[in-house]
Structure 1
Amino acid sequence: MPVLTLEQITTSPRATTKDEAIQEAADMLVAAGAVTPDYADAMRAREASVSTYMGNLLAIPHGTNESKDSILASALSVARYETPLDWDGNPVKFVIGIAGKDGGHLEILSKIAIVFSEEDDVAKLEAAPDAAAILELLGDVNE
């Protein structure tokens, strides 16, 4: 099963706050069948202990180690915001929710980090016309 599909990407998210964005990311993972609804609380708990802001307009909310039972399958959700969200004082345009089954999140995280470490790649993601274009740019996560 691919960790990222077209249905798990939105270019028209509704959240306007960090907390709403975390809920939106969790809801997309629930819809994908990757996590149970209580995963959102684990994502909030993780955020309370350490910010998931990564730099270059990216935040990657994910659950705590104790939330393993809430994860049914490895998956990502991607939301691109037109107006940057305030993430603890940092501008965020990309919120990528992560659920990693059996430690699978570390490999997924490293693939995302590689893409977002290149400003050219971030610019391409910002300019992508639609979810399909974003999926193409992030497609390596499925390999």
Structure 2
Amino acid sequence: MEIQTNLIKLGQVFETQEEAIIFCGEQLLAGGYVTADYIPAMIERNRELSVYMGNFIAIPHGTDAAKKEVLKTGITIVQVPRGVNFGDDAEPKIATMLFGIAGVGNEHLDLIQKISIFCADVDNVVKLADAQTAEEIADLLNSVEV
């Protein structure tokens, strides 16, 4: 799947993880990938099991029950230079890159695999976090072979 530059948002600031997840959901909704009911399912998914993946990334996505709200497979990539805490004060889990995903069937697994392979190397996450243009982020991620 090619990364769409119009769904890459640079330099965002969020006070809470919920605010960050809602933003990701709104991007997917605006792009025609999901219905409005997918957004609360993204928040619910994070409550059930954190969408924070380590290496400064989080992958907000909906619950299995919300699969019916996915219209087509898509991904939004959100750069958060100051980071957003997906943990708590005692154990902060700071994400500087968010990958909001929605997948038809099991297509989301391919997206997660691609993100995981690329972001397993923290230097790659730094490249994404430091990117100055959406095209730069798209080029980095489109270079990943799955």
Task: State the TM-score, normalized to the length of structure 1.
Answer: 0.93
Q: How does 1:6-21 map to 2 (within 5 A)?
A: 6-21=5-20
Query: Which position in structure 2 is the counterpart of 1:51?
Result: 50
With 34-43 and 6-15 compared, the bigger mean Cα shift is at 6-15
State the distance in 2 between where 1:135 and 1:54 align. 20
CA gap of 1:132–1:11, structure 2 versus 1, over 3 A, is: same
Distance in 1 separating the partners of 2:13 and 2:130: 19
List gaps (5 residues or longer) in structure 2: none
Aligned to 1:114: 117
- Give the alignment's Cα RMSD to 1 decimal: 1.7
State the AA in 2 paired with 1:97: G
User: Paired residue for 2:107?
Assistant: 104
Structure 1 unaligned spans of 5+: none
**Counterpart-to-counterpart distance in 2, 1:34 and 1:69:** 11
Measure, in 1, the Cα distance between the counterparts of 2:7 and 2:143. 15
- Give the total of aligned pairs: 142
**Alpha-carbon distance between aligned partners in 2 of 1:140 and 1:108, rounded to the nearest angstrom:** 13
Give the whole-Å Cα distance in 2 for the aligned partners of 1:43 and 1:138. Answer: 23
Segments ≥4 residues shifted beyond 2 Å:
12-16, 140-143
- Verify: 1:135 aligned to 2:141, yes or no: no
Measure how far apart 1:122 and its partner are. 1.4
Give the alignment's TM-score, normalised by structure 2. Answer: 0.91
Give 2:107's aligned amino acid.
G
Partner of 1:82: 81
**Identity over aligned residues, as a percent?**
33
